Amino acid sequence: MKNLKTDKIITLAELTIHPEFVEEVLPLANDTRKHILLEEGCESFSLLRKTDNPNVLVIFATYTSKQTYEWHLEQEYVKQFFAFLEGKLTEKPRMSYLGEL
């Protein structure tokens, strides 16, 4: 990763929700996004759904540094959101870490 131009942390997460829980998860996901967008180190945070599979939430986020990303993960609202998802996902969230060229 030495060729990357910045120290930013860019994440792409896919959360596949059991169909019967989607309508229960969406309001909390939106509320959590509002908190995250206020974080000092969060440059962007998009909460999306796959058009071909609306049970899949996709999160695309950019943080200014590893430190701000790690701080983000320790916030109570983030922990509460992932605790709320327990038993509501069909599989473990898929995470990708991306870098700018």
Q: Please check whether residue 100 is in contact with residue 5, taking contact to mean a CB–CB distance below 8 angstroms.
A: yes
Q: What end-to-end distance do the CA atoms of the chain give, in Å?
A: 10
pLDDT tens sequence across 8-58: 999 999 999 999 999 999 999 999 999 999 999 999 999 999 999 999 999
Of the pLDDT bands very low, low, confident and very high (cuts 50, 70, 90), residue 1 is very low
Tokens at 99, concatenated: 């870098």
- How many CB atoms sit inside 10 A of residue 31's CB? 13
Tokens at 87, concatenated: 């038993």
User: Model-level pTM?
Assistant: 0.89
